[in-house]
Structure 1
Amino acid sequence: MAAGETRTGVCVVRVEAQTHGLLITLRLNPEIERFSTGVSVSTADAESAVQIVREFLLDFLAATPDQ
Protein backbone atom coordinates (compact mmCIF):
# COMPACT_ATOMS: atom_id res chain seq x y z
CA MET A 1 0.00 0.00 0.00
CA ALA A 2 1.38 3.38 -0.99
CA ALA A 3 1.79 6.16 1.55
CA GLY A 4 -1.43 8.07 2.07
CA GLU A 5 -3.67 5.24 0.87
CA THR A 6 -6.30 3.95 3.24
CA ARG A 7 -7.06 0.33 3.86
CA THR A 8 -10.68 -0.72 4.19
CA GLY A 9 -12.09 -3.97 5.50
CA VAL A 10 -15.61 -5.08 6.24
CA CYS A 11 -17.21 -7.42 8.75
CA VAL A 12 -20.89 -8.23 8.35
CA VAL A 13 -22.81 -9.99 11.11
CA ARG A 14 -26.07 -11.68 10.09
CA VAL A 15 -28.27 -13.19 12.79
CA GLU A 16 -31.22 -15.49 12.14
CA ALA A 17 -33.62 -16.64 14.83
CA GLN A 18 -34.38 -20.31 14.24
CA THR A 19 -36.53 -22.77 16.15
CA HIS A 20 -33.44 -24.39 17.70
CA GLY A 21 -31.62 -21.11 18.51
CA LEU A 22 -29.57 -18.58 16.60
CA LEU A 23 -27.64 -18.94 13.39
CA ILE A 24 -24.91 -16.29 13.23
CA THR A 25 -23.13 -15.84 9.93
CA LEU A 26 -20.04 -13.64 9.73
CA ARG A 27 -18.64 -12.37 6.45
CA LEU A 28 -15.09 -11.12 7.01
CA ASN A 29 -13.12 -9.31 4.33
CA PRO A 30 -9.94 -7.49 5.38
CA GLU A 31 -9.47 -5.93 1.91
CA ILE A 32 -12.61 -4.81 0.09
CA GLU A 33 -10.53 -4.12 -3.02
CA ARG A 34 -9.83 -7.87 -3.21
CA PHE A 35 -13.11 -9.71 -2.75
CA SER A 36 -11.41 -13.11 -2.90
CA THR A 37 -9.76 -12.50 0.48
CA GLY A 38 -13.08 -12.74 2.32
CA VAL A 39 -14.28 -15.68 4.37
CA SER A 40 -17.65 -16.68 5.71
CA VAL A 41 -18.12 -18.36 9.09
CA SER A 42 -21.32 -19.65 10.69
CA THR A 43 -21.90 -20.46 14.33
CA ALA A 44 -24.75 -20.83 16.79
CA ASP A 45 -22.68 -19.54 19.70
CA ALA A 46 -22.73 -15.77 20.35
CA GLU A 47 -19.47 -15.83 22.32
CA SER A 48 -17.71 -17.57 19.44
CA ALA A 49 -19.05 -14.96 17.02
CA VAL A 50 -17.78 -12.12 19.22
CA GLN A 51 -14.35 -13.78 19.46
CA ILE A 52 -14.15 -14.17 15.68
CA VAL A 53 -15.00 -10.48 15.18
CA ARG A 54 -12.43 -9.50 17.83
CA GLU A 55 -9.72 -11.54 16.09
CA PHE A 56 -10.67 -10.01 12.74
CA LEU A 57 -10.28 -6.49 14.17
CA LEU A 58 -6.96 -7.26 15.85
CA ASP A 59 -5.58 -8.91 12.69
CA PHE A 60 -6.76 -5.96 10.60
CA LEU A 61 -5.05 -3.50 12.93
CA ALA A 62 -1.83 -5.53 12.99
CA ALA A 63 -1.71 -5.68 9.17
CA THR A 64 -2.35 -1.95 8.73
CA PRO A 65 0.80 0.12 8.43
CA ASP A 66 1.14 3.23 10.55
CA GLN A 67 -0.26 6.26 8.79
Structure 2
Amino acid sequence: MIDKMEIAETKIVVARKKNKGKEYETYSIYLPKKLVEDPKFPFNKDDILLVKIERRKLVIERKRRRKVKK
Protein backbone atom coordinates (compact mmCIF):
# COMPACT_ATOMS: atom_id res chain seq x y z
CA MET A 1 0.00 0.00 0.00
CA ILE A 2 1.26 3.49 -0.83
CA ASP A 3 1.36 5.94 2.06
CA LYS A 4 -0.46 9.17 1.12
CA MET A 5 2.70 11.21 1.70
CA GLU A 6 4.77 9.11 -0.72
CA ILE A 7 2.91 10.53 -3.70
CA ALA A 8 1.82 14.08 -4.45
CA GLU A 9 0.39 15.91 -7.42
CA THR A 10 2.41 18.90 -8.59
CA LYS A 11 3.16 21.02 -11.64
CA ILE A 12 5.93 22.93 -13.34
CA VAL A 13 5.85 26.64 -12.58
CA VAL A 14 7.17 29.12 -15.16
CA ALA A 15 8.43 32.53 -14.06
CA ARG A 16 9.33 35.23 -16.57
CA LYS A 17 12.20 37.46 -15.53
CA LYS A 18 14.16 40.37 -16.94
CA ASN A 19 17.88 40.92 -16.53
CA LYS A 20 19.90 43.63 -18.27
CA GLY A 21 17.10 44.22 -20.75
CA LYS A 22 16.72 40.57 -21.72
CA GLU A 23 13.70 38.44 -20.88
CA TYR A 24 14.01 34.80 -19.96
CA GLU A 25 12.02 32.05 -18.27
CA THR A 26 12.91 29.95 -15.24
CA TYR A 27 11.21 26.67 -14.40
CA SER A 28 10.54 25.18 -10.97
CA ILE A 29 8.84 22.04 -9.74
CA TYR A 30 6.73 22.70 -6.65
CA LEU A 31 7.02 20.12 -3.85
CA PRO A 32 4.17 20.19 -1.32
CA LYS A 33 5.17 20.86 2.29
CA LYS A 34 3.61 17.62 3.55
CA LEU A 35 5.73 15.62 1.10
CA VAL A 36 8.99 17.37 2.03
CA GLU A 37 8.31 17.10 5.77
CA ASP A 38 7.54 13.37 5.56
CA PRO A 39 10.24 11.38 7.46
CA LYS A 40 10.77 9.24 4.35
CA PHE A 41 11.65 12.24 2.15
CA PRO A 42 15.17 11.42 0.91
CA PHE A 43 16.72 14.91 0.85
CA ASN A 44 17.75 17.55 3.36
CA LYS A 45 17.35 21.31 3.11
CA ASP A 46 20.93 22.10 2.00
CA ASP A 47 21.55 19.06 -0.22
CA ILE A 48 22.91 19.67 -3.69
CA LEU A 49 20.80 17.66 -6.12
CA LEU A 50 21.49 16.23 -9.57
CA VAL A 51 18.57 15.99 -11.99
CA LYS A 52 18.63 13.78 -15.07
CA ILE A 53 16.29 12.16 -17.55
CA GLU A 54 16.40 8.35 -17.76
CA ARG A 55 14.03 6.41 -19.99
CA ARG A 56 11.44 9.21 -20.06
CA LYS A 57 11.55 9.66 -16.27
CA LEU A 58 12.94 12.51 -14.21
CA VAL A 59 15.48 11.19 -11.70
CA ILE A 60 16.64 13.32 -8.76
CA GLU A 61 19.66 12.23 -6.72
CA ARG A 62 21.76 13.75 -3.97
CA LYS A 63 25.19 14.80 -5.24
CA ARG A 64 27.90 12.89 -3.44
CA ARG A 65 30.34 15.08 -1.62
CA ARG A 66 34.02 14.56 -2.18
CA LYS A 67 35.98 13.47 0.82
CA VAL A 68 38.78 15.89 1.61
CA LYS A 69 42.16 14.19 1.88
CA LYS A 70 44.22 15.26 4.87
Say which structure is richer in helix: 1
Structure number with bigger Rg: 2
TM-score with structure 1 setting the length = 0.32
The structure, 1 or 2, with the larger RCO (C-alpha pairs under 8 Å, 6+ apart) is 1
TM-score with structure 2 setting the length = 0.31
